[in-house]
């Protein structure tokens, strides 16, 4: 028997929201459609020279777009045309994009996204991803405003990511567990392949860019050394795995157990990753899968947001591993709390 498609699953789950009129379902469906288009382009990237600089012309005489620009445009187009969104925030755009059209007049939601995460991997045939986060608008009507995005991660209505990997997967949560769908290219549908994803309480993979070691807070340095120590009882040394695409690293750790850390560095004293469209959605998913996501001292989803592109350090993954890393942070990096 064929497994459930994303569309079937979304319709079935609508019963979980007795007062909802189907807008969120339609919004998730719109995201699924844009994801398929982006996946198609990612798959043929090397063939059509889409990797060239923005502004060049390809063999069809079309303007060549960089993949991240292409992905941004696809998601904006799908979300604007769907009519459920009154504003979009994107890593690619300095300001929010208000959606002002007849069909979005009664839109209840805003979407924050990183349309193509893992930019250093785009040109080298390594997994990249899309991250999205959905909030209910706080403004009353008309196109959405910046204020609509100034909500804590705990207010997210849904969040998810798409990983363009050896297969394409869409993973999302609406706060009732995490479900993963794999794109079946033969029918062009996302099919439920990973129902009720739960991460391990403990793991033995750590993911951090150790090239920045000298610039890490002492707590992180000591934790990395702890990961490398020999200790049979706790299966150490742990394995180090770092792809450099946050979605891919976190997806792997979600499945096998592990910790992902992007701490502050002397170069990025506030961390590198963005709270609104990278850390909050990933944190929502990880928590829903039984894991933890913190700054090293505080829960990510409870951070007050003051700027659209606000950065934060991120420690996330298996709960016991995050607790241990936080223990090291509080012992050795008390002055570096964010
Ligand atoms: P990006 O949004 O510019 O792609 O930056 C986010 C990415 C994450 O996907 C990844 O985990 C991290 O940055 C890698 O950074 P670094 O190359 O500094 O290790
Ligand atoms: Mg990113």
Nearest C-alpha to atom 5 of ligand 1 is from which residue? 118
Q: Which of 6-10, 189-193, 245-249 has the lowest mean pLDDT?
A: 6-10
> Which of 71, 113, 118 has the most ligand 1 atoms within 8 A of CB, as the residue to mutate?
118
Instruction: State the chain's maximal CA–CA distance in angstroms.
Output: 63
pLDDT of residue 134: 97
Residue 293: helix, strand or coil by DSSP?
strand
* 149 vs 162: CA distance, rounded Å: 21
Ligand 1 interacting residues, C-beta cut-off 6 A: 91, 114, 117-120, 209, 244-246, 249, 272-273
pLDDT of residue 60: 46
* 87 vs 149: CA distance, rounded Å: 9
* Packing angle of the helix pair 218-228, 319-332 (nearest 10 deg): 130
Nearest C-alpha to atom 14 of ligand 1 is from which residue? 244
Nearest C-alpha to atom 16 of ligand 1 is from which residue? 244
Angle at CA of residue 244, ends 215 and 166, nearest 5°: 170
Same domain, 184 and 214: no
Per-residue pLDDT at 329 exceeds 70: yes
- The residue-averaged pLDDT of 108-113 equals 96
* 308 vs 107: CA distance, rounded Å: 21
Same domain, 178 and 210: no
Same domain, 168 and 293: no
Q: What is the CATH number of the domain that holds 145?
A: 3.30.540.10
Joined together, the tokens standing for residue 245 give: 């695409």
Tell me if the bond preceding 15 is cis, omega within 30° of 0: no
Nearest C-alpha to atom 4 of ligand 1 is from which residue? 118
Same domain, 67 and 154: yes
Per-residue pLDDT at 55 exceeds 60: no
Same domain, 159 and 13: yes
Sequence-ordered alpha helix ranges (H) in the chain: 6-13, 23-43, 67-82, 218-228, 246-256, 280-288, 319-332
Q: Are 286 and 250 in contact (CB under 8 A)?
A: yes
pLDDT of residue 104: 81
Same domain, 212 and 327: yes
> Which of 127, 262, 271 has the most ligand 1 atoms within 8 A of CB, as the residue to mutate?
262
Same domain, 135 and 278: no
* 247 vs 91: CA distance, rounded Å: 15
Confidence of residue 58 (pLDDT cuts 50, 70, 90): very low
- The residue-averaged pLDDT of 51-74 equals 67
Q: Which of 160, 133, 155, 135 is nearest to 145 (CA)?
A: 135
Q: Please give the tally of structural domains in the chain.
A: 2
> Which of 127, 131, 273 has the most ligand 1 atoms within 8 A of CB, as the residue to mutate?
273
Task: Report CA 110 to chain centroid distance, whole Å.
Answer: 16
Question: For 137-192, how does the pLDDT look when each residue is reduced to its tens digit (9 = 90+)?
Answer: 999 989 999 999 999 999 999 999 999 999 999 999 999 999 999 999 999 999 99
* 232 vs 208: CA distance, rounded Å: 23
Which atom belonging to ligand 1 lies closest to the Cα atom of 209? Answer: 19
Same domain, 257 and 127: no
DSSP 164: E
* 208 vs 296: CA distance, rounded Å: 14
Query: What is the Å distance from ligand 1's center to 139 Cα?
Result: 32
- 130 within a domain of the structure (yes/no): yes
Same domain, 314 and 251: yes
Q: Which of 74, 78, 80, 77 is nearest to 100 (CA)?
A: 80
Q: Are 268 and 324 in contact (CB under 8 A)?
A: no
Task: Please say which residue of 143, 172, 194 terminates a domain.
Answer: 194
Query: What is the Å distance from ligand 1's center to 11 Cα?
Result: 34
* 128 vs 81: CA distance, rounded Å: 25
Secondary structure element (H or E) that encloses residue 314, with its range = strand 314-317
Q: Are 50 and 58 in contact (CB under 8 A)?
A: yes
Question: Phi/psi at 28 (nearest 5 deg)?
Answer: -65, -35
Nearest C-alpha to atom 7 of ligand 1 is from which residue? 118
Per-residue pLDDT at 93 exceeds 50: yes
- 1 within a domain of the structure (yes/no): no
Angle at CA of residue 98, ends 32 and 169, nearest 5°: 15
pLDDT of residue 335: 60
Question: Phi/psi at 136 (nearest 5 deg)?
Answer: -80, 140
- 200 within a domain of the structure (yes/no): no
* 114 vs 211: CA distance, rounded Å: 24
Q: Which of 110-124, 202-216, 218-232, 248-262 has the lowest mean pLDDT?
A: 110-124
């Amino acid at each position: 028997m064929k497994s459930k498609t994303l569309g079937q699953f979304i319709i079935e789950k609508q019963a979980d929201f007795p007062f909802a009129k189907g807008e969120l379902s339609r919004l998730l469906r719109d995201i699924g459609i844009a994801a398929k288009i982006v996946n198609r382009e990612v798959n043929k990237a090397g063939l059509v020279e889409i990797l060239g600089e923005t502004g060049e012309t390809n063999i069809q005489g079309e303007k060549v777009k960089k993949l991240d620009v292409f992905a941004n445009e696809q998601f904006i187009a799908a979300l604007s045309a769907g009519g459920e969104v009154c504003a979009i925030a994107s890593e690619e755009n300095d300001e929010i994009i208000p959606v002002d059209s007849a069909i979005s007049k009664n839109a209840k939601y805003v979407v924050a996204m990183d349309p193509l995460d893992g930019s250093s991997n785009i040109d080298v045939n390594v997994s990249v991803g899309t991250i999205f986060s959905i909030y209910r608008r706080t403004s009353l009507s008309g196109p959405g405003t910046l204020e609509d995005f100034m909500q804590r991660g705990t207010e997210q209505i849904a969040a998810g990511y798409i990983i363009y990997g050896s297969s394409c997967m869409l993973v999302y949560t609406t706060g009732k567990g995490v479900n993963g769908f794999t794109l079946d290219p033969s029918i062009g549908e996302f099919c439920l392949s990973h129902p009720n994803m739960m991460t391990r309480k403990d793991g033995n993979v750590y993911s951090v860019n150790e090239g920045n070691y000298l610039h890490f807070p002492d707590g992180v340095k000591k934790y990395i050394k702890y990961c490398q120590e020999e200790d049979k009882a706790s299966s150490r040394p742990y394995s180090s795995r770092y792809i450099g695409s946050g979605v891919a690293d976190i997806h792997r750790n979600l499945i096998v157990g592990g910790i992902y850390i992007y701490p502050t560095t002397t170069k990025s004293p506030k961390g590198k990753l963005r709270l609104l469209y990278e850390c909050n959605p990933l944190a929502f998913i990880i928590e829903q899968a039984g894991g933890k996501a913190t700054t090293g001292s505080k829960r990510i989803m409870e951070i007050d947001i003051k700027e659209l592109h606000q950065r934060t350090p991120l420690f996330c993954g298996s709960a016991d591993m995050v607790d241990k890393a936080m223990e090291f942070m509080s012992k050795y990096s008390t002055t570096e709390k964010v």
